[in-house]
Structures are given as structure tokens and as C-alpha cells.
Amino acid sequence: MAGQTGVRAKAFRQILYVSALAMMAATSIPAGAATPEETAREVLSKTPIIDGHNDTPHQIAELFDRDFSKFDLKALPPEILAKTHTDIPTSRAGFLGGQFWSVYVDAALPKHEAVTRTIEQIDVVRQMIARYPDVFVYADTAATAEAAMKKGKIASLIGMEGGHSIGSSLEILRQMHALGARYMTITHSLTTDWADSATDAPKHDGLSPFGFEVIAEMNRLGMIVDISHVSEATMHDVLDKTRAPVLFTHSNARAVTPHPRNVPDSVLKRLPQNGGVVMVTFVPGFTSPERRQWEYERSAVAGRAKIEFTGNPAGEKAAVDAWIAANPQPKATLVQVADHIDHIRKVAGIDHIGIGGDFGGVDELPVGLENVSTYPALFAELVRRGYSKADLAKIAQGNALRVMRGVEAAAGK
């Protein structure tokens, strides 16, 4: 009996101790303390987001043949918003302050056609700005972007997605800069004549001699070097050569999701010396390890079906469809995007993180990040993980602006 009484007494003391801790914790939180959602909105209202990559101009070209009389960004119908993920109301709701609008064209196009279509895409951005002057302001420097945001406008910058857009010509590179392009992604999905892509067979072990010339000229012009989409060897070659900070405008951490489009730790460790920033993206296959594994397995099934059902496309499709029905596609989540931010902070530091959602460039987005209005939900998750207001402000825009200023300072040298 005495032993049982002692056990009960010990248990009672533990209950009292836990209760006391709970009371202390409760009394240490000020009455009316801000929720994570309130904190996120407070920070973003003062330091709105500069996003590194949005493909709405591509959607405008694909859906409306670049004809602005066919739609209104102030009121897109749901079926169109499901493709652009972006319109004016969602941009305002999401505290979007600055956007690098992507001027993407197919990497497989012949050189002359790629150049022509890139110029047409630049015109789409220019038309958009001109059509909604109460919302968008053209920006080409950190200072003009900051000035636009102070006026409550969305600073609109232009980024070329893929080195194929210059037709292997420094002269065309200079003219694209003159037309307003302020970054160039060195490759897209295919290796170019001068740089290896992350998702194509390598030809140069990184950059070719001409590729090094391109980086030097971009530095001289004051054009940001974007090394999303490139191979790991190309990443290192760029970091060896550049005199200015770099951006990954829409990439995640490879250690979290092993996709070649993501940034390996070997490169993340070099970012503090360079000053560059990884703008974390929302692409499901780059975000979710489970989704990436599913994609690998689906590709293997499709490859086997192609051989097994040679000359029988209906049988090939049925085999793949049956596998998908038995193995539902995993969904990426907002929490997993935050996991990538955590990893980049751990390896590179808080000064090297930004946001590059790739809205308008994917068919599906993570649960909780369905369109541009959802940025605050991601920042609320970061608050829950212990990120300070100063941290949030850096991720939202401070780090991106620092890169822009660094690139501008290196220009002309």
C-alpha cells in the first residue's frame, strides 16, 4: 500500500508541475498576441513579396494569342485563373510587390525563331504594364522597384527563361538587355551550344568558352545571372566566373527532394561568398520527395508499356492508366515548401532565401499554395517555425533587392 501511495503522490506532483508550466507559458504570452497569420500579413504589408518567376505572359500568349482585348486581369474567370494562378485581385490579396515576369519560349525552337518569340513575349509584359498603369509599373533596377512598391504598385521586371533566347549572340544579349530583360536563365530544359542543362545530356562539362563570355557580358551589362535549370557543373562554373551575385529564380533544395532541377548542398555552401539567393519554388515535383519518387516510377512504367505494347497505343495507355489508378499521385504541400526554406537556411543562411513560385508555369500547385493570393499562408507557416519578422522581410524582398543592387554595382566594370 505504502508503495502505491508513493507512486500516486509522485504522479500528483508531476501533474502539478506540468500544470504550473502550462500556467507560466500562458501568462508569458501577452493578451491579444498576434497569430502567425496576423504576423505574416503585418510583415508583408510593409515589405511585400518580390517573386522571381511567373509565367503569366506565356499563358497570355497561349490562351489569348497575346490579344489583351480577349481578357481582363482585373476579373479572370475561374477556368483561366486555374492556368495563370495570377490576376490583379489575387496579386493584391497575396501582397505581391514586385514580379519578375518570365518571357519564356520553347527551348527546342530554331535560334532565329526563339529570338523573335522572346521579343514578342517582352512586348506582352510591356502591354500588360501599359494596360493597367494603376497596378503595374515597369522597373529595371532595385531603386525603381522600391519606388514602385512605395506607391502601392507592383514593380514589373522582365526575366528571360533560357539562354536559347539570345541565339548564341552577345549582340542579341545586349539588345535583350536594352529591351528590358534584367535576368537570363542560362539554360532551360535543353543544353545549349554553350551551357549544360540540368535535364539534358551534358556537352560542355558546365560552360563552354563562349559560355564564360556570356557570363562576363551579363556582369558588365548589369543583368542577373539565373542558374535555375542548369547542371551542377554549370552552377559551379558560373560561381567561379561571375563578379556579381546570382539568383536561382525558381529552384528548391536537392537534399530535401532529389531532383536535378534543385540546388545541391555543394552549391548552397558557396552562396554566402557569392551573395546569391535561392528563390524557393512551388513546383510539386521539385517540392515533394514522395511526388518525385512517384514521377520516377510512373516514367519506368511508361517506358515498359511502350516496349510491351509496341504498335498498340491503346494498350500502352491502358497499362499506364491502370498503374496510376492503383498508385494515386501524391500531392505536394505548403509545409513541404517550408521544409526547403528550412534546409536552405541551415546550409546557406537566412540571407540567401527568396520566393519564386512559378505561378502560371505548372499545371498543379501544392495544397495551400493554389494561386498568388496564398503567399501569406506560407509566411504564417514560417512564423510557426520560429522565423522572426526580420527573417520574413528578407525572404519577401530584402534578399532579392540586395542581389539586384549587387549586380548593378558590378555593371560597367
Task: List residues with catalytic annotation.
Answer: 53, 55, 161, 188, 229, 250, 358
3-class secondary structure per residue, 91-159: HHHCCEEEEEEEEECCCCCCHHHHHHHHHHHHHHHHHHHHHCCCCEEECCCHHHHHHHHHCCCEEEEEE
And the C-alpha cell for 257? 527532394
Separation of alpha carbons 42 and 50, rounded Å: 16
And the C-alpha cell for 286? 521539385
Query: Are the CB atoms for 357 and 51 separated by under 8 Å?
Result: yes
